[in-house]
Amino acid sequence: MQFYSTNNPSYKVNFEQAVFKSLPPDNGLFYPQILPRLDPDWIKNLNHLSKTEIGLMIASKFIGDEIPMPRLAQIVSETIDFDIPLVKITDHISSLELYHGPTWAFKDVGARFLSRCMAYFIEQSNREVTILVATSGDTGGAVAAGFYNLPGIRVKILYPKGKVSDIQQRQLTTWGGNVSAYEVAGTFDDCQYLVKQAFLDQELSQELNLSSANSINIARLIPQSFYYFYAMQQVDSNDQVFCVPSGNYGNLTAGLWAWAMGLPIKKFIAATNQNKVVPDYLTTGIYASKPSIQTYANAMDVGSPSNFVRMLELFKYHHSDMTKRLSGYYVGDDAILSTIKDCYEQFGYLLDPHGAIGYAALSTLLAPGEHGIFLETAHPVKFLDVVNQALGGAVDFQEKSKPLADKKETYQSIGIDFVEFKQVLKG
C-alpha cells in the first residue's frame, strides 16, 4: 500500500518510509491510498476469530508484503498481548478497557506496533536509530515501554519538569537500558521545541539517525483500529455507538477507518473536554483551532488536533457526510468530577477523567434502543489526583502503584537551550 500526503496527493511513499518519516516534508499527514474493504463474510464471522487473526488481516491490508506474514503475525500478537475487555456498566453502556497494557493507557497499542515494525526494518538494513520524543505524559511511557530492549534502537524522551504525574514520570524514568529520560526545566511546548530543532539540525539528525514516534505516525493508527473489531466481537446487536474521548483524534480516526473498512458501527461520538474545536466544527461547519486550555482530562488538552485533517480526508471534506456518522460532545471540569463520583457510587465502576467524558457523553446522547461503548483510554491510577478529588480519597491504589514506586529513577536534568541540548544528545 502507498501513503500520500494530505497536502499533496502526488507525493507518495511506501509503509516503511511513512513509518520512518512520520510526517511528509510538506507538513501534511500520510494517508492510505485506499482504505481496504474487508470481506463482509469475514466480518460476519468475527466471533470465531482470535485477536491476532483479526489484527493480522487488517495490518496485512495496509502493509502488504513489506513485512512477511509470519513476522507480521508475531508483531500483531505482541502488540495486543494483554486483555482488552468490554465491561458492562449499565444495560446500555459498556467500557472498552484499553488500559491493561504495560503503561496503563491505550497508547501502548500504537507504540508496541510501531516499535516492532521499526525493529523489523532496522534489522533488514543493519542501521541504528534514535527515537526522540517529547511527552506531556502518556505518550512517552508507552513509547519507552514499546521500544525497551529492542535491538538497534535508542530512545530519548523529554518531559516537562513537575508537569507529569508521579506515576507517569516513573513510567519514563525507571527503564534504563536503551531508554534515556530528560527532565526539561520548562513546559511541554519547550520540550517539543527542542525535539523539533533536533530534527531540523541536519548534522545531528543524520549523525544519530533521528526518528520520531509521535502520535501521527501511521503505524500507531493502524493497530488502533483493531480494538473496534474486538469490541464488536463481544456484543450481539449492530446498534452500537462508539464514543471516543479525544485529544489529537487518532483513536477516533482509527475507529472511523474500522467503519470504512466495513465494520458495521452505527455512529460515533467525538467526546472531549473544553478544548472543543471538533464538536464546534460538527455543529457549525466552521473549524477554528485555538490555544489549548488546561483541564482535568489533560491528555486531551489539544487546541489544534493533528488528526482532524485525516477525518476530513475520509469524508472528502463534506461536513454533512461527516455529521451523518459523527456527533460531538464536550464536558467541563466540574462534570468530569461529578461523573466519576456518580458512576462509582451508582455502579461501582471507577472511571479515569478521560473515560468519564466518554461515559458522560453516552449518558446524554444515546437514543432508545442503542447501546453505547466508550473507550476507557487510561487506568484511573494514572490520574490519581483528579480521581481522589472526585471521590474524596475513597479508593486506595497502593497495590497497583507499589511495584513502580519501588523502582529506581534515572534521568538527566536539562535546560531549554538547544545548543546545550545538542551537546547532551551527542554525548
Ligand X SMILES: *Cc1c(COP(=O)(O)O)cnc(C)c1O
The footprint of ligand X (CB under 6 A) covers 105, 107, 138, 215, 245-251, 299-300, 354, 377-378
In angstroms, the CA 129 to CA 56 distance is 26
Q: How far is the CB of 305 from ligand X (least distance, A)?
A: 7
Q: How far is the CB of 255 from ligand X (least distance, A)?
A: 10
User: Which CB sits closer to ligand X, 60 or 135?
Assistant: 135
User: Which CB sits closer to ligand X, 94 or 377?
Assistant: 377
User: Which CB sits closer to ligand X, 51 or 107?
Assistant: 107
Q: How far is the CB of 202 from ligand X (least distance, A)?
A: 30
Pairing between β-strand 8-13 and β-strand 3-5 as defined by DSSP bridges: antiparallel
User: Which CB sits closer to ligand X, 105 or 381?
Assistant: 105
67, 124 in Cβ contact below 8 A? no
- Residue bearing cell 502520535: 215
What are the residues whose beta carbons fall under 8 Å from the beta carbon of 372, sequence distance 6 or more? 92, 93, 94, 240, 241, 242, 243, 269, 362, 366
User: Which CB sits closer to ligand X, 245 or 372?
Assistant: 245
For 236, other C-beta atoms within 10 Å of its C-beta total 7
Burial of 186: CB neighbours in 10 Å, binned 0-12, 13-18, 19+: middle
Phi-psi region of 177 (alpha: psi -120 to 50; beta: other; left: phi over 0): left
In terms of DSSP H, where are the helices of 49-187? 51-63, 69-79, 107-125, 138-147, 166-173
Q: How far is the CB of 303 from ligand X (least distance, A)?
A: 13
Q: How far is the CB of 378 from ligand X (least distance, A)?
A: 3
User: Which CB sits closer to ligand X, 67 or 379?
Assistant: 379
- Residue bearing cell 467525538: 270
Q: How far is the CB of 152 from ligand X (least distance, A)?
A: 27
